[in-house]
Structure 1
Amino acid sequence: MSLRHGRGLVHLAASVDQPGPLDVASCTELARLAERGGLDFVTLDDAFARTGPDALAVLARVAPATRRIGLVPTIAATQGEPSPVRAAMAELDRVSRGRAGWRLDVSAGMADARPLGTLPPAEALWPQAVDGADLAAQWWDGREGDAGNGHLANGRCPDRGRPRDGGRTGTALSLRDPSVLPRPSAGRPVRVVDAGDGRAGTIAARYADVALVRAVTPARAAALGEELRVRAVEFGRTPNSLRVLVSLLVDLGDGEYAAERGHGGGGPRPTARGPLYRGGPVDLAELVAGWHADGAADGFHLVPVEPRRDLERLVNGTVALLQHRGLFRTFYPGSTLREHLGLALPADRPAVTGGAP
Structure 2
Amino acid sequence: MSTPERRLHLNLFIHDTGHHEASWRLPESDPHADVDLAHYQRLARCAEEARFDSLFLADSPSLWGDPGRRPSGSLEPTVLLTALATATSRIGLIATASTSYNEPYNLARRFASLDHISGGRAGWNIVTTAGDAAARNFGLDRQPTHAERYERAAEFLEVSTLLWDSWQDDAVVADKERGVHAEAERVRPVSHVGKHFRVDGPLNLPRSPQGHPLLVQAGSSEDGKDFAARHAEAVFTAQPTFEEGRAFYADVKRRAAAAGRDPARLKILPGIVPVIGDSEAGARALEEELDRLIQPEYARLQLAALLGVAPERLPLDDELPDDLPEEEEIEGARSRRTLVVEVARRERLTTRQLIGRLGGGRGHRTFSGTADQVADTIEHWFRHGAADGFNIMPAVLPSGLEAFADRVVPILQERGLFRTEYTGTTLREHYGLPRPADRRGRDRGQP
TM-score, normalising length from structure 2?
Answer: 0.67
Deviation for aligned residue 1:307:
2.3
3-state SS of 1:307 partner: coil
Aligned to 2:242: 218
Aligned to 2:9: 11
Instruction: Confirm or deny that 1:257 pairs with 2:255.
Output: no
| Residues 283 and 33 of structure 1, relative CA distance in 2, 3 Å threshold | same
Partners of 1:249 and 1:185 lie apart in 2 by 33
When structure 1 is superposed on structure 2, of 80-89 and 227-236 the one drifting more is 227-236
After superposition, what is the alpha-carbon deviation per residue over 1:188-240, rounded to whole angstroms, capped at 9, x for unaligned? 10011014012111111111010123323334323322222222222222223
Partners of 1:122 and 1:312 lie apart in 2 by 39
Partners of 1:147 and 1:322 lie apart in 2 by 43
Aligned to 2:204: 180
When structure 1 is superposed on structure 2, of 52-61 and 137-146 the one drifting more is 137-146
Instruction: Confirm or deny that 1:43 pairs with 2:52.
Output: no
When structure 1 is superposed on structure 2, of 200-209 and 299-308 the one drifting more is 299-308
Q: How does 1:130-141 map to 2 (within 5 A)?
A: 130-141=154-165
After superposition, what is the alpha-carbon deviation per residue over 1:169-191, rounded to whole angstroms, capped at 9, x for unaligned? 33312232344222121111001
| Residues 22 and 89 of structure 1, relative CA distance in 2, 3 Å threshold | farther
Q: Where do 5+ consecutive residues of structure 1 fail to align? A: 264-268, 352-357
Counterpart of 2:165, as a letter, is D
Partners of 1:112 and 1:51 lie apart in 2 by 16
3-state SS of 1:279 partner: strand
Deviation for aligned residue 1:294:
1.5
Aligned to 1:278: 367
| Residues 162 and 219 of structure 1, relative CA distance in 2, 3 Å threshold | same
Partners of 1:103 and 1:76 lie apart in 2 by 8
Q: Where do 5+ consecutive residues of structure 2 fail to align? A: 18-31, 64-71, 288-341, 344-356, 442-447
After superposition, what is the alpha-carbon deviation per residue over 1:59-90, rounded to whole angstroms, capped at 9, x for unaligned? 01110110100000100124422212111111
Aligned to 1:55: 77
3-state SS of 1:13 partner: strand
| Residues 52 and 44 of structure 1, relative CA distance in 2, 3 Å threshold | closer
Q: CA RMSD in A?
A: 2.9
When structure 1 is superposed on structure 2, of 113-122 and 128-137 the one drifting more is 113-122
Q: How does 1:104-123 map to 2 (within 5 A)?
A: 104-107=126-129, 110=131, 112-113=133-134, 117=141, 119-123=143-147
Instruction: Confirm or deny that 1:328 pairs with 2:415.
Output: no
Deviation for aligned residue 1:99:
0.5
Aligned residue pairs, count? 333
Instruction: Confirm or deny that 1:98 pairs with 2:133.
Output: no
Partners of 2:437 and 2:164 lie apart in 1 by 10
TM-score, normalising length from structure 1?
Answer: 0.83
Report the structure number with the largest CA radius of gyration: 2
Aligned to 2:299: none
| Residues 36 and 157 of structure 1, relative CA distance in 2, 3 Å threshold | same
Partners of 2:278 and 2:145 lie apart in 1 by 40
3-state SS of 1:103 partner: strand
Partners of 1:122 and 1:149 lie apart in 2 by 45
Aligned to 2:319: none
Counterpart of 1:276, as a letter, is R
Aligned to 2:315: none
Deviation for aligned residue 1:58:
0.5
Q: Which 4+ runs in 1 deviate beyond 6 A? A: none
Q: Is the 8 A contact 1:212 1:301 kept in 2?
A: yes
Counterpart of 1:12, as a letter, is L
Partners of 1:303 and 1:41 lie apart in 2 by 13
Q: Quick one: which of 234, 251, 254 aligns to 2:258? A: 234
Instruction: Confirm or deny that 1:288 pairs with 2:378.
Output: yes
Instruction: Confirm or deny that 1:312 pairs with 2:338.
Output: no
When structure 1 is superposed on structure 2, of 243-252 and 298-307 the one drifting more is 243-252
